[in-house]
Amino acid sequence: MPSGPQTPVRPGASGFEIEEPQDDPRLLRGVQTGTQRKVTLVALADAGTPEADALKRELDLLAQVRDRHVVEVLGTHVQGGKLWCAMEAVDGEDLATQLREGHRFTTEEILHIGECLARGLGAASYHGFLHHDLRPAHVMILDDGQVKVANFGPLARRRALANEATPSPATVAYLSPEEGSGQPLDIRANIYSVGAILYELATQRPPFEGYDSSTSLLYQLLHVDPLGPRQLGSSIPKELERTILRCLSKAPVDRYSQPSELLEALRQSRDSISSTKVSAIRNQEDDTGDFDIFEDQPLGEGGMGTLLRGRQRSLDRAVAIKVIREAFHTHPEFLQRFRREGELLAQVENANVVQIIGTGIWHGRVFYAMELVKGEDLAARQMRGHRSTPEEILHIAEGVASALRAAWRYKIIHRDIKPSNIMITQEGTIKVADFGLAKSLRLPGAESRVMAGTPEYLSPEQGLGQKADIRADIYSLGVVLYELAAGRHPFKETQSSVAMIYQHVHTEPPPLEQLDPKCPPALRGLIHRCLQKDPDARFENPDELLKAIRAARKNMDLPPTSKRMIPAAAPAPSPRKLLVPLLALLLLPCGFVAWQILKSRPMEPTESDRAYELAMGLGNPALAMKIAEASKGRDSREYREAERRERNLRLRPLEERACERVAARDWTGAADAYGTLQSQVDPERRKEISAALRLCDSLKAAAEKEAKADWAGALEIYLRLQSQGAPVRDVLEESIRRVRSRMDPSAPR
C-alpha cells in the first residue's frame, strides 16, 4: 500500500484519514484515526440516496463480524458525493492469482484453506450474512499463510443469470445449482462454493469447464455430477475427496448443513489421514506403479529413509527410490512429513532441484521415486581433499541459489542446506537434494516439534526456535561457502549440538582473509553477508543473492559461467619445428641447472592450468581435454588423464545398462551391452568385460535352449557354469531346479 510523506493525507469526519486518490478512482487508501490501521475504501453508491442509506445500514451490521478469517469492515465514509466502505487492508494475494500462476496445492494446504473458509463463513452466517459471490478472487492468502474471505454482503453481488445469453465460466464455475435455477438460498449455497474452490485446488480445474453451447455449462451445473478429483490425477486422500464431493451435491439437503459441520468433516479428514495411515499402509498390497525397486542396490541413507536404485519401466531409465524407514511407520507425524516432502518437491520444477517422479507402496512401506543424479555430493568431494577454487565456489553458490529461488516461489524453505545435500552431476550441474525437512510457509503453525536441520549448518533463528524463512537457507548456504573457501568450518568443532548452536547465535567466525589471504574480496563480502546473525542484514531473498553472485563474478574479472573455461585457440605449427630437437640438445645442460633451481618451489599455475583443474573438478573431462590439447598437446599427462576420465564417463551409462539387464535376467540385453563395452574400455579392463560377456552369452544360449524345450542342453550349460564358480549362484541353482523339474515332473522343485 502506498505510504510515506510523498502521499498527502486528508483527515475525514468519519474516523479515517484519506490519502489523495491514486490510479483507480474507485479505490481510496488511508488509515483509521483511532487505531492507525491501514484501510482500503471502495465506492458503492451515490451518497444521500435511499440505496446509500440501505447500504450503510447493512454495512454497519457487517462491521459487527469480527473473525480473523474475514476481511473486516471498519465503517463507511462519504467523499466526493459517494458512499465508501472502509475495510482492513491486507498484505497478500488472492487465490485466483495463485491458480493462474500454476501453483499446485498440497493436501495440507487444501485442508488449511477449507478450514479457514468454513470458519469465516460460520462467523458471517452467525450475523445473518451470506457471501453472494464466493470464488477464488475473493479469498485472500496473506503473507503469513492466514486465509481471509473478502466481500461479504453488499460488497459482492452476483449478476442474475436470467438475462445472460452466454454465462461466463467465472460467473458459473462456483455457483450452486439452486442459484443457477433461481431458488431461495441459504448457507448451503456457500458450502457448495467452498466445495468448488477446494475441487479446483486439488485438480487445477473447476468441477465443470468448457461448453459447446450457451446453456451447456448451466446444464452440467444442474444435472451432471463432477468426476472425483482422484480420477483426474489428484493425490488427495479418499477422505478429503468424499468431503469435497459432498459439498458439491446437487440437492442442498445432501450437503453439510452448516459451516461448523463442514469444519468438523475437514478435521476428521485430517485426523483420519494421520491415524489410519499406518494401518492402511500395512494392510495395503504393494503398489509400485511404474517402478521396479532393486533391494540389493542401496544408494545411501537419509534422515527419514533408505535410498535404493530403481527403474522407471515406461521410460526404461534408472531412478532413485526413497523408502521411509520402518521405525517411522509407527509415527503418523513422520509419515505426514514424508508425504508432504513428496508433495512439496513435486511443485518445484528446476534444473537445480532433484525432481520427484512418483510415489507408491513397497513391502508395506511408502516410497517416492526421484531422478537419479549421477555425480557426487559436496561432502564426498571434501572428504577426498578437494579444495574448491573461487570460480567453483561461485558456481556452486549460483546453483543452490537458483534452487532456493525456485522453491521460494512456492514459499518453500529447505531448512537443511549442507554439503551432503548439494550434488554435482557429471556435467557440472548443481542440484539440491533431500527436502525432507522442507516447510511451506503458506501453512502457519506447521512447524514440527522436533528441531529441523543439522547443527553445523543451522541458522541462528532456527537455533533459537524462532520463525525461519528463506533467509535461514541463505545463512546455511553461507556456512557451506565459508567451508569451501577456508577449508574449515567457520566455528570450532564440538561434539555438543548445544555448543555448536551457541556459536551460530553468539560467535563471529574468523575473517576469511586471515584463513585465506588469496580469497577474492568480492567472494569474502558475499559470504560475510550470508553469515550475518540478524536475518535482516542478510540477502533478503535468492534473487538478491543471485545478483550479488553475478556482481562478484564480474568484480573478480571472471567471464560468465558458460564461457569462463574456454581456452584460446592453439597456435599453428611452426614450419621450423624440426629445429626443436636440436635446440633441446643444445640447451639440455642449461635446462638441468634450471630444473635444480626450480624443483624446490612449486610452479605458479597458469590460466590454462586453472581452467583445466576447474573443468575436471566440475566433472567435464571433454572440456578439460580441449584445454589440455591447446595448452600442452595430446601427449601430455593432463590430456591422457582427461581422455581416460571422459571415456569412463561416456561408458558409465552403458555399464549401468549392462548391470540393470543382469539384475533383470535379460541375458540378451546384457550380452549386447557388454559386447559394446568390450571394444571401448581401457585395455586393463577388457579381461573382466570379456568374462562378463562370456557368462551372459552362455546364459543367453541356455535360455534359448529352454525356449526350444532342449532341457538337457540347457542343464549342461547351467551345470558347467556352476562348476566354474560363476558369480550368479542363485540364478544357476534356480535354473537347474527349474530345468530338472521339466525333465522329471516328479522331482522336488
Catalytically active residues are 416
615 close to 624: Cβ distance less than 8 angstroms? yes
Element housing 76 (H / E): strand 73-79
How far apart (Å, rounded) are the C-alpha atoms in residues 115 and 104? 18
Among the candidates 275, 294, 324, a domain finishes at 275
For residue 410, the model assigns a pLDDT of: 77
Task: Write 668-673 long-range contacts (CB < 8 A, 24+).
Answer: 668/700, 668/703, 670/696, 671/696, 671/697, 671/700
How far apart (Å, rounded) are the C-alpha atoms in residues 369 and 145? 29
For residue 409, the model assigns a pLDDT of: 83
For residue 560, the model assigns a pLDDT of: 57
493 exposure class (CB count in 10 Å sphere: 0-12, 13-18, 19+) = exposed
Q: Is residue 302 part of a domain?
A: yes
563 exposure class (CB count in 10 Å sphere: 0-12, 13-18, 19+) = exposed
DSSP code of residue 540: S
Asked if residue 529 and residue 469 are part of one domain, the reply reads yes
Exposed e or buried b per residue across 8-24, where buried means at least 16 C-beta atoms within 10 angstroms of its C-beta: eeeebebbbebbeeeee
Asked if residue 388 and residue 365 are part of one domain, the reply reads no
Asked if residue 270 and residue 134 are part of one domain, the reply reads yes
For residue 727, the model assigns a pLDDT of: 66
Among the candidates 586, 618, 649, a domain finishes at 649
Determine the structural domain holding residue 129 and report its residue range.
93-275
Q: Is residue 600 part of a domain?
A: no
Among the candidates 66, 88, 110, a domain finishes at 88
For residue 696, the model assigns a pLDDT of: 87
For residue 170, the model assigns a pLDDT of: 63
Asked if residue 300 and residue 270 are part of one domain, the reply reads no
Question: 303 in helix, strand or coil?
Answer: coil
Asked if residue 295 and residue 418 are part of one domain, the reply reads no
Q: Is residue 593 part of a domain?
A: no
Question: 133 in helix, strand or coil?
Answer: coil
pLDDT in tens, 604-627: 567 777 777 777 766 677 787 888
Task: Report H helices in 664-708.
Answer: 667-678, 683-707
For residue 31, the model assigns a pLDDT of: 86
Asked if residue 249 and residue 132 are part of one domain, the reply reads yes
Q: Say how many Å lie between the first and final Cα of the chain, rounded.
A: 79
Count structural domains, the chain: 6
For residue 223, the model assigns a pLDDT of: 82
Asked if residue 548 and residue 435 are part of one domain, the reply reads yes
Q: Is residue 218 part of a domain?
A: yes
Asked if residue 222 and residue 302 are part of one domain, the reply reads no
Q: Is residue 715 part of a domain?
A: yes
Tell me, what amino acid is at 514? Answer: Q
Question: 219 in helix, strand or coil?
Answer: helix
Element housing 470 (H / E): helix 470-486
Element housing 317 (H / E): strand 317-324
Please spell the DSSP secondary structure of 327-391, one letter per residue.
GGGG-HHHHHHHHHHHHHHHH---TTBPPEEEEEEETTEEEEEEE---EEEHHHHHHTT----HH
- Give the residues of the chain that fall short of pLDDT 50: 1-13, 159-160, 162-166, 212-214, 276-282, 447-450, 562-603, 749
Q: Is residue 595 part of a domain?
A: no
Question: 529 in helix, strand or coil?
Answer: helix
For residue 114, the model assigns a pLDDT of: 95
Q: Is residue 602 part of a domain?
A: no
The CATH number of the domain holding residue 289 is: 3.30.200.20
454 close to 418: Cβ distance less than 8 angstroms? yes
CB atoms within 10 A of CB 701: 15
Torsion sign (Cα): 510, 515, 517, 522: negative
Q: Is residue 568 part of a domain?
A: no
Determine the Cα angle at 78 with ends 76 and 84, to 5°: 50
Supply 28's cell numbers: 481510496
393 close to 484: Cβ distance less than 8 angstroms? yes
The CATH number of the domain holding residue 467 is: 1.10.510.10
Asked if residue 308 and residue 332 are part of one domain, the reply reads yes
For residue 739, the model assigns a pLDDT of: 87
Asked if residue 443 and residue 549 are part of one domain, the reply reads yes
Asked if residue 105 and residue 77 are part of one domain, the reply reads no
Overall pTM > 0.75: no
343 close to 235: Cβ distance less than 8 angstroms? yes
How far apart (Å, rounded) are the C-alpha atoms in residues 158 and 168? 12
430 exposure class (CB count in 10 Å sphere: 0-12, 13-18, 19+) = buried
In DSSP terms, 217 is beta-bridged to none
Asked if residue 154 and residue 130 are part of one domain, the reply reads yes
Supply 310's cell numbers: 530403481
